[in-house]
Amino acid sequence: MTEAQRILIVEDEPLIAMMLEDFLDALGKQVAGTVETVASALDRVAAGGIDAAILDVNLRGGEKSWPVADALAAADIPFVLATGGDTLAPGHTSRPVLAKPFTMDGVERALAAL
């Protein structure tokens, strides 16, 4: 696979999402979109134009992002799981993990692992 350039961010905390956008910009990546719910993420995945995604495991209201992970996997779009130590869903345990709190180096390493 060629290096991912258009990255979807699935993150429900606006300040963290903005920080990730800044990190991606500094790393020469394009933000393909920033969404904060499973429904909006699924719509964005279906719309296409995504090379990879950074997926927060736990979203607002106790929502888990596993349906998005499943949709990305089905579309053969690589993704990184962003987590503070959550248990990973079966079928996604081999995905690269981006540990919180995020650093630019951590984001760069996680994307390089795709």
Cα atoms found within 13 Å of the Cα of residue 24, Cβ hemisphere only: 22
Please give the pLDDT value at position 1. Answer: 42
Answer positive or negative: Cα dihedral of 35, 77, 90, 112: negative
Contact of 35 with 10, CB cutoff 8 Å: yes
Does residue 67 surpass a pLDDT of 90? yes
Angle (CA) 85 30 61, round 5° = 40
pTM: 0.93
Does residue 7 surpass a pLDDT of 50? yes
Q: Which residue has the higher pLDDT, 93 or 55?
A: 55
Q: What is the mean pLDDT of residues 19-47?
A: 97
Q: Please give the mean pLDDT across all residues of the chain.
A: 93
